[in-house]
Structure 1
Amino acid sequence: MTGPHRVAAVLILGLALLLAAFTDPGHTNRDRDRAPAAAVPPVGPAAEPTPGTPAPPNLPTGTPRWRSERVLPDRGMLVAYYGTPGTGSLGVLGETSPRKAFRRLQRAAAPFERPGRPVRPVFELIVSVADGHPGKDRDFSHDVGRAAVQEYVDAARDLGALLVLDLQPGRTDFLEVAKRWEWALVQPHVSLAIDPEWRVRRGQRPARVIGSVGAGEVNRTSAWLSRLVVEHDLPEKLFVVHQFRTSMVRHIGRVKARDGLQLLQHVDGFGNRGQKLATYRAVARPDIFAMGFKLFYDEDYNRMGAKAVHRIRPRVRFVSYQ
């Protein structure tokens, strides 16, 4: 084949191969392992999701939700109303309906917001309430009715709030009481708090003594809650320990961190500003916990505002109003 004919043949062959690459049905299969190009989002009405369409997953495959969905806002804080359903005697949350309480909570939380530091609203609901009498179980505590608690579970979910179930167990082990609330704790937005003030021993009565709990019981309860989070692939939960005396949590240095839980120590002392800060500094263990702080509408004198709370060190990440 002469030189000019050879060049022409090569050009024709190359053109044929190029054409085949774009018409070959197997072309797409060869590229199927490549990452698809990002879709351009629709504009206007077409951008609205179809009703009932589930949200697309947004986590890398195999990543537990508790590792990616943190309960504390990044650099932000939580602000809560505290109480029990149907009465204001134990806190402001029970003074009105959940939805009306939420509007009041939003107003209380607004001063805590800072640029780049979001605030998340919280209902902290006492669901096992300590009693001064033994009751039918002889444990000096009773559970709030499921229907009343369900109302807060539903309202918190609908309103975008976190719900923390608070336990005052009387003479019963915290773990035993916590298990009774598993039906609510499997919800992604529901967390747990334990209040050692109301954990009394045999022969003691709530309100006549200040109760306490050992680190072993704390760890058994947190281990159970951690398993619940991991096994149900839930977002991270708060595990709150209320405290205003060092004696309320025995051997606190032995409290263990847990997968899927953010441990938080909530310092509950009331009084004037100096008294509250003295209690906080005496009790705080930021080496183990994120820190919480309670503000009392009635018991505090010259109650702290948001600016004063932001100045507290170690830094407060959770504030509740009672």
Structure 2
Amino acid sequence: MFFTKASGPLAACALLVGLGLPACQSSTTATEQATAAAAQPAKPAPVDTIKIKRLAMQRDSLKADSIARKTGQLPGAILPGHRIVAFYGNIRSKGMGILGREPKDQMFRKFDGVLKEWQAAEPGLPIQPAIHSVTITAQGAAGKDGKYRLMNSGSTIEETRRWAKEHNCLLFMDVQVGLSNLAHELPKLTEYLKDPTIHLGIDPEFAMETKGARPGKKIGTYDAKDVNFAINFLARIVSENHLPPKILVVHRFTQNMLTNYKNIKLDPRVQVVMDMDGWGDPTLKKDSYKAYVEKQPVQYTGFKLFYEYDIKRKPNHLMTPSEVLAELNPKPLYIQYQ
């Protein structure tokens, strides 16, 4: 192909046409286009929603801290102005605790009697009844995804909620993650936790992800970072839904069930209860409370009583409310019966 020795922009255009490429525009047209392009508004930068939520959480946390410093607690906080007394278990299971062991009406009659005993033991502190329901339960079978846990059906959860509302109880949804983890399991409860009367329990005994064993073979463990995840998860729900503070119950009865407790970061939007969960001889139960709850304090304390296992060996007995309050320091503000 032959080209003349033309020069300048027209020559360049002719060359491109000869090659079959799009022809150039005149320099005047190009300038006009550049001016028009400069006049167009710049595309907005992508929105970092995670960063926005994190900043909002920080602002909400600072605001909550400010209010808590002035008043001692956030509006609607249950602790320390009440003692919570809870019946534990699953309404579909006779073996998991008192909550499902006896017929409903019979169980609530027993519960009413227990509440009166606790009120009589310390008349000046109001009693708040609660149902503590194991909602995600560790399993002996792996299940389809190999995580050894199972969540209650929607109908079971709703019936448990009705029981709680009928008797003016708080509802604690307890989580046993098996080989799963809190990051995967807690979001399943988000919609329920938007209810101001529903709170959360987490059980390190059945947290087996770092153990590599199925539940029941070893005692599981949580680290402070796991508890912090649960605290932040609840705090976000409180802020986004304008709720009073949530309560987080963490079960414990050995040293290794909770590691690095000093790294737990408290938030006024979440009240943390460390619950001494062991059973047996009252002396051993009191020693465990002293070693793992009193000596490693986080915020509030709890104590668990077992209708069957605490009296399994004679002469052991079920500790009375007066006995618990007289012999434990600090006095637990969360009491659970299994």
TM-score by length of 2: 0.73
Counterpart code for 1:277: K
Aligned to 2:292: 283
Which of 320, 328, 331 aligns to 1:305? It is 320
Which of 103, 108, 118 aligns to 1:102? It is 108
Residue 306 of structure 1: CA displacement? 0.8
Aligned to 1:70: 77
Deviations 1:138-181 (A, max 9, x none): 10000011111111113312321110000011011113211101
Q: Is the 8 A contact 2:181 2:209 kept in 1?
A: no
Residue 272 of structure 1: CA displacement? 1.1
Q: Is the 8 A contact 2:172 2:201 kept in 1?
A: yes
1:268 aligns with 2:277: yes
Which of 155, 165, 190 aligns to 1:157? It is 165
Counterpart code for 2:161: V
1:128 aligns with 2:159: no
CA distance 1:219–1:99, shift in 2 (3 Å) = farther
Residue 73 of structure 1: CA displacement? 5.5
Q: What SS does the aligned partner of 2:301 have?
A: strand
Superposed counterparts of 1:18-37, under 5 Å: none
Deviations 1:62-100 (A, max 9, x none): x89x821112261x3111100012112010001246565
Structure 1 segments (4+ residues) deviating >2 Å: 95-104
Aligned to 1:137: 145
CA distance in 2, matches of 1:214, 1:274: 27
Residue 221 of structure 1: CA displacement? 1.8
Aligned to 1:247: 256
Which of 77, 83, 89 aligns to 1:83? It is 89
CA distance 1:94–1:260, shift in 2 (3 Å) = same
CA distance 1:214–1:73, shift in 2 (3 Å) = closer
Counterpart code for 2:79: L
Counterpart code for 1:313: N
Superposed counterparts of 1:218-233, under 5 Å: 218-233=227-242
Counterpart code for 1:299: Y
Counterpart code for 2:88: Y
Superposed counterparts of 1:26-65, under 5 Å: none
CA distance in 1, matches of 2:91, 2:195: 19
Aligned to 1:256: 265
Aligned to 2:118: 112
Larger Rg computed on CA atoms: 2
Q: What SS does the aligned partner of 2:266 have?
A: coil
Q: What SS does the aligned partner of 2:256 have?
A: helix
CA distance in 2, matches of 1:101, 1:216: 37
CA distance in 2, matches of 1:137, 1:97: 34
1:180 aligns with 2:188: yes
Counterpart code for 2:322: K
CA distance in 2, matches of 1:73, 1:119: 11
Q: Is the 8 A contact 1:195 1:242 kept in 2?
A: yes
Aligned to 1:6: none
Long gaps (5+) in structure 2? 1-66, 311-315
Counterpart code for 1:222: I
Aligned to 2:199: 191
Q: What SS does the aligned partner of 1:125 have?
A: strand
Counterpart code for 2:232: A
Aligned to 1:27: none
Counterpart code for 1:77: R
CA distance in 1, matches of 2:218, 2:297: 29
Q: CA RMSD in A?
A: 1.8
CA distance in 2, matches of 1:232, 1:259: 15
CA distance 1:72–1:102, shift in 2 (3 Å) = farther
Deviations 1:251-274 (A, max 9, x none): 111111123111000001111111
Counting aligned pairs with the same residue, the percent is 29
Aligned residues: 258
Counterpart code for 1:231: E
CA distance 1:186–1:96, shift in 2 (3 Å) = farther
Counterpart code for 1:150: E
CA distance in 2, matches of 1:196, 1:138: 19
Counterpart code for 2:221: S
Aligned to 1:168: 176
Q: Is the 8 A contact 2:238 2:244 kept in 1?
A: yes
Long gaps (5+) in structure 1? 1-62
CA distance 1:100–1:175, shift in 2 (3 Å) = farther
Structure 1 or 2: more helix by fraction:
2
TM-score by length of 1: 0.76
After TM superposition, the structure 1 stretch with the greater mean CA deviation from structure 2, 128-137 or 187-196, is 128-137
Q: Is the 8 A contact 2:149 2:177 kept in 1?
A: yes
CA distance in 2, matches of 1:216, 1:89: 32
Aligned to 2:209: 201
